[in-house]
Structure 1
Amino acid sequence: MPLCSHIRDLADAIADAHARHEVIPPPATALTLTDGYAVQAEVGRRVGGAVAAYKVGLTSPAAQQAMGTREPIVGRLHAADILHGNAVVPSGTRPRFAEAELVVEIGRDLPPSNAPYDRDRVAAAVAAVHAGIELCSSRYAAEDVDIGALVADNSNAEWLVVGDRLSTRWEDRFAALDAILLRDGMPPVRGSTAAVMGDPLAALTWLANWLTARGEMLRQGQFVATGSCTGITEIARETRLSSRFADGGEAHVRIGDPADQGEEKE
């Protein structure tokens, strides 16, 4: 089915902003969630490559209330958006935000099914659980946008840092694990995995069923950023970040000069 002109035009603008590392005005008219996901899919098609990871956003009641919704939102990341180890990414001109998250690696496909996936079936598909950091940024010149526009901009997904492996399976302890986000020269931001829909497994199960309802699925080898344990924290243009979880797992990223040693996203 051909794309509506307003979907196509916004996808053009966001894809161009993505390529040029620039910002654009937010949409002049409100977008529905359906419109937002249509734009997101078209931008992803133009960027190219398979989906390597999903992010689940708006996983707290307060965040959902602020955006006028009763369910989370989804973003998609490609292989170039995923960083490992002591990653380094270049500083930019747009505001950036960081979130400490549990990142799950999928160990088996979860295809469309006659019955919704329950927690046990989804947990059985987990191959690994990692400490992680999500870096978020908007391609819009204004941050105050409606939920459809937010989703169109890939739900503000920018980078996903996959850190230490905490386990090779889902464990009950991950439902309420203390988490800390650390920034250079700033007080720690404390939180818990329980901030993610009461249990990050609930977010993962929601995503599995959301995808199958759309004829899509979680696939072996994909990562899922399950939702923020520490809220959304604005970060300096140049800084070091770490997420730490109660049982010792960490993830690290430095925002700064890409010429320095480390991994870089082009």
Structure 2
Amino acid sequence: MAFPPSPLSELARAIAEARATNQTIPPPPAALTMDEAYAVQSESLRLREAAVAGYKIGLTNPAAQRSMGTTEPILGRLCAADILHGMATIPAGAQPRFAEAELVVEMGTDLSHSGAPIDEARVAAAIGGVYAGIELCTSRYAVDDIDIGALIADNGHAEWLVVGGRLSHGWDDRFATMEACLLRDNAPPVVGNSASVLGNPLAAVTWLANWLATRGEALRRGQLVATGSCTGITEIGRHDRITSRFAHGMEAHARIGTPTIKREREG
């Protein structure tokens, strides 16, 4: 159901339009509550007329949470057009763009919201695949200094999710502390570990499952979840080639370059 005309609906439409046209907008003039921010996020996706194909989880380490004045992660919603597979070529953008090496999980079965709270064992049993991934982020705002409500309303700055090689057909304990590396052109590697993600990326997916359950929603078979940054947030150039590399040599690749991908006009 669409919002009635209101400042929140106007913000949702402005964010959707900024995303479609690669423009920027001012941040909200007043602080949003968490509920208001997530409502704006949902409405922006509705304006794209696209179903939720996956999620991104952000603020998955204490330092990032402290910087935004919170004690828990946040989420963003991804539609199919935001998710790329294999060697991805992504158009250069006008705004600064950032990359993160992430483990991406694919749900192998629906994870019912009944019986919440949902524990990690139940989440692990529902995971049908684990992949190397790259999350690319950018802001729709014209300024950098924003609060957590503005960040959530802007879908956690989600832009693209690149899904690379499969590490496993299900969850394994080795993914809790797996080394990761982000490689860029003419720059030293950025080294990290999956333990940076709430101590274990499975904890992040479990947080998401329970957040959704409190709202009567659930993770569904086939949906993808970008679990959180293993390497921190790294600014990238307008024509960089980027690789995320995990143990056992599994990688995801993206190249920033010619605008061969057109995002549909939204809203």
**TM-score of the aligned structures, taking structure 1 as reference length:** 0.96
Counterpart in 2 of 1:185? 186
Structure 1, unaligned runs of 5 or more: none
Counterpart in 2 of 1:52? 53
- Which contiguous aligned blocks of 4+ residues in structure 1 show a shift greater than 4 angstroms? 1-4
Counterpart in 1 of 2:32? 31
Counterpart in 1 of 2:134? 133
Distance 1:133 1:115 in 2: 30
Aligned-pair distance for 1:265?
Answer: 4.8
Shift in alpha-carbon separation, 1:100–1:72, aligned structure 2, 3 A = same
Distance 2:222 2:216 in 1: 19
Counterpart in 1 of 2:119? 118
Aligned-pair distance for 1:31?
Answer: 1.2
Counterpart in 2 of 1:225? 226
Structure 2, unaligned runs of 5 or more: none
Distance 2:71 2:48 in 1: 30
Percent identity over paired residues:
64
Counterpart in 1 of 2:71? 70
2:89 and 2:254 in contact (8 A); partners too: yes
Counterpart in 2 of 1:18? 19
RMSD between aligned alpha carbons?
Answer: 1.1
Counterpart in 2 of 1:6? 7
Residue identity opposite 2:197 in structure 1: V
Counterpart in 1 of 2:91? 90
Can you list the C-alpha shifts for 1:58-112, whole angstroms capped at 9, x where unaligned? Answer: 0000000000001100001110110011100100101100000000000111122
1:107 and 1:126 in contact (8 A); partners too: yes
Residue identity opposite 2:185 in structure 1: D
Report the secondary structure of 2:105's partner residue: strand
Report the secondary structure of 1:76's partner residue: strand
1:51 and 1:79 in contact (8 A); partners too: yes
Residue identity opposite 1:11 in structure 2: A
Shift in alpha-carbon separation, 1:92–1:115, aligned structure 2, 3 A = closer
Can you list the C-alpha shifts for 1:121-150, whole angstroms capped at 9, x where unaligned? Answer: 000001000000000001000121000000
Shift in alpha-carbon separation, 1:265–1:219, aligned structure 2, 3 A = farther
What are the residue-to-residue correspondences of 1:140-219 with 2, within 5 Å?
140-219=141-220
Counterpart in 1 of 2:240? 239
Aligned-pair distance for 1:203?
Answer: 0.2
Can you list the C-alpha shifts for 1:184-217, whole angstroms capped at 9, x where unaligned? Answer: 0001101000000000000001101100111111
Aligned-pair distance for 1:34?
Answer: 1.0
Aligned-pair distance for 1:3?
Answer: 4.6
Can you list the C-alpha shifts for 1:144-191, whole angstroms capped at 9, x where unaligned? Answer: 100000000001000000000000010000000000000000011010
2:116 and 2:213 in contact (8 A); partners too: no
Counterpart in 2 of 1:253? 254
1:80 and 1:265 in contact (8 A); partners too: no
